[in-house]
Structure 1
Amino acid sequence: MKSFGFLSFGHYAIGNQPGPDARDTLHQAIDLAVAADELGVNGAYFRVHHFAPQNASPMPLLGAIAGKTRHIEVGTGVIDMRYENPLYLAEEAAALELIADGRMALGVSRGSPEPAEKGWEAFGYSAEQDNGADMARSKWETFLAAIDGYGMAKAAEAGKQYPNMYHPGTPLPIFPQAPNLRKHMWWGAGSHTTAEQAARDGVNLMSSTLVSEADGSTLGEVQAEQIRRYRATWQEAGHDWTPRVSVSRSIFPIVSEKDRQMFGLQASDRDQIGSLGEGVPVTFGRSYAAEPDVLIEQLKADPAVMAADSLMLTIPNQMGVEVNLSILQNFAEHVAPALGWISAKEGLTTGHELS
């Protein structure tokens, strides 16, 4: 099956800038997710950035959406592990998984460059590497052990416990525990190497909105190779379940003159090569904006879109619920069926629910 959802960067205005403020942005995200759920869209996913007027603490938002919807999957793309306490995140992830009744796809990664210089240090964390990759990896391993139920602390001596629940020295897991939580975790990979590591770790793959390979290949070609390597490594690792892979794209179906006026100039015919300030060239994806029949052929020619299980549509969240719901509805009605999409509601009734 194929699924699709929306990915919101959660931008909001501050000071005298025009646009929705933080409160408006959060409430609009909930309203959009509820409307998308009724439409049959499979997922509502949110970027996480710190020290910026964007989404930063996703759990309250995801919990609110899960509580007001029935079918749609809620998740992130992605949580920056450099800023996280792995055990607290494990508790939050398990609680969200239980609240959402399994409708969760929590994407995490080392994280992208942030506005702050080593902002994770302000959160109380230090790293050996300047980009924090070593610390993120260590926290990720601790997080996986915690959600798998391993003991993360030892019970106190007799007389020091309140109440005396455990034999002294007993290994204590975090609570709550959620069955199969690892199957709902995703690693946001920006390179072939990290995609292969995600497969060895036994989690789903969320291919990044940009990739660190910049050899002249298109984003779709690079990601298709990333997906191929991920799935091959998964088979070699011998995991006993089938993972999911997602990619994201900026896609604007044009089905009216209003759509053309708003999005007609968004189309680009090629990807971009740039840098995020760490000395590594990266490939950014193009934006698609065309009539549905043209979009269908363009997306069928994108090897990563066709290889992935889930497609995330990056949306201009500042434009409000009505505009973004129109984008999702146009895609759901005029494009997605030709790509093999099964809606969230249809999937539940036919036994193809996301897992």
Structure 2
Amino acid sequence: MKRLSGLLRASFSGMASMTALCLCVPAEAAPQPESLQVPPGFHISVVTDQAPNARELARGARGTIFAGTRGPGKVYAITGVDGGGPVVVRTIAEGLTLPVGVAYHDGDLYVSDSQRIVVLRDIENHLDKPPRPETVADNLPYRIGDHSWKFIAFGPDNRLYVPIGAPCNVCDVGHDFGKIISMAPDGTDRRDVAFGIRNTVGFTWQPGSGTMWFTDNGRDNMGDDMPSDELNRLDTPGQSFGYPYCHQGNVPDPEFGKQHACSEFTPPALLLGAHVAALGLRFYEGTQFPAAYHGNLIIAEHGSWNRSQLAGYQVVNVAFGADGKPMAPKVLVGGFRQGQHAWGRPADVLPLPDGSVLISDDLSGSLYRLSYGEAAPTP
């Protein structure tokens, strides 16, 4: 561990704000469910701790839970989560490049790669002998750098939405990067949806209105408390949210801010906090949780890596006021860290038909179930 710490310190010696996170936690930690903290009446339990680096989650028509990964290059299929049998984790694809994103659509599983989208056809009928990944969209914009992993999802228009992250901490990305695009399920008819986005690793659509909401991770190296991660709402295709010129709606970038005023861009709907690394989010439409949670957003905060005092490492609940505007986030699941030591990093959330919510944790390789009331925790 001392040798690893020395290598990391050397690698990041130019970053004055480098925190102890990369130096304090192992590459994979054991889950500590007894440390997790939830509001009164809620329960949390480990569904499985056999899904290394589990990131985005999707559910198949038969209840199979699919999970993408980043480092391992694998995609998992997890059965038994809905009950009726033991929980079994299968690897259904491997050797991919940063396959963070998974999206289930009409029996097929779509998976993101750094430069393409592949699909596993009729997947729930072939879990034990999965088909070879078939490329449906190739030559996605790519440049060596940061943020080439992709959270993906199908919208209410049956189109696949794909982010094209900025290949840097902060740089002038033009119209090739820093955006969200959409395409038909066969990869054709690509359209630009939104611009000025540094790195979104979570988006979803509000039931009823069909409005798209997404998280965006703010740039680094502007200090502990600047800028904030954002919760954004897309009202009109083509909106720009400011990157790299303006951060959190009101902070000009030190290098690029003189080129465009913050007033030229769509401001965030809500500031989530600096460096919390807000990732996956979903609207809660279940009935198991108290009525006050219905229609709220649940957001996974992966946690900071370059803040002198760690931030994030929790799952938060965002309610909406009578005016329809999101209110300040409140902690729904905490305890993934104790002080400066983190053992877990929430990456995505997925409400289930019974009203409970799955949470992926890519540091411990676990999935948890958050339930309420008399619902028995899954062993």
Q: Which has the higher helix share?
A: 1
TM-score (norm: length of structure 2):
0.29
TM-score (norm: length of structure 1):
0.30
Structure exhibiting the larger radius of gyration computed from Cα positions: 1
